[in-house]
Amino acid sequence: MNRETLEIFLPAFMIVFFGLISFWTKFRKRPKVELHVSKTEVYKKVHLIDTVFKIMLISSILIVFIYTYFPDYYIIFAPIDFLDHPIINTIGVLILKVSLAWLVIAQLTIDKSAFMIKTGIEVWNHNRLILYSEKLLLSGMLVMFFGFFVTISSIGSILICIIGLLLFDRLLRYQ
């Protein structure tokens, strides 16, 4: 995939991805589940990891914006030129599309779990539901960060990917 196509695809992808993460609750058909979450230490750490992932998502959007609209300034993210190849870029775009599907499936799974808890079919602790939800959503974001790195390779995007991996590993350790 060439640069001109990426300059069209990446901003559109980021708008759709960010929109799904931000506005899913407005579009879903399921009733809301009122969560009474105790502010435990684990909850605070999960909330912090979630906040850092959102900052990394905004950083990714900034990188795409500069890559697309101000290519002369993209040099500040230290691009890795030998990875800028149409085949590698196409693989990255495919990974990005998988991450979008992953996000939709994760959101639907979370809605299903919340509905089952609300109707009494499942009995979960609300903290467990939040931890489960965060793992699903952040794993989709992690796949997106990896696809983002493969598509437009730079030191900035690999740092986002590595930080995401480390934080996700930390999230997996919480029970």
Domain boundaries, the chain: 3-18+39-172
Closest CA to 1 of 147, 109, 145: 147
d(Cα 130, Cα 43) in Å, to the nearest integer? 8
Closest to 59 measured CA to CA, from 98, 90, 14: 14
pLDDT in tens, 87-111: 999 999 999 999 999 988 888 887 7
| Higher-confidence position of 1 and 55 | 55
N-term to C-term CA, the chain: 42
Dist CA 127 CA 44 (whole Å): 11
Q: Give Cβ neighbours of residue 114 (< 8 Å, ≥ 6 apart).
A: 30, 33, 129
Output the pLDDT for position 138: 84
Instruction: Find the mean pLDDT for residues 115-125.
Output: 65
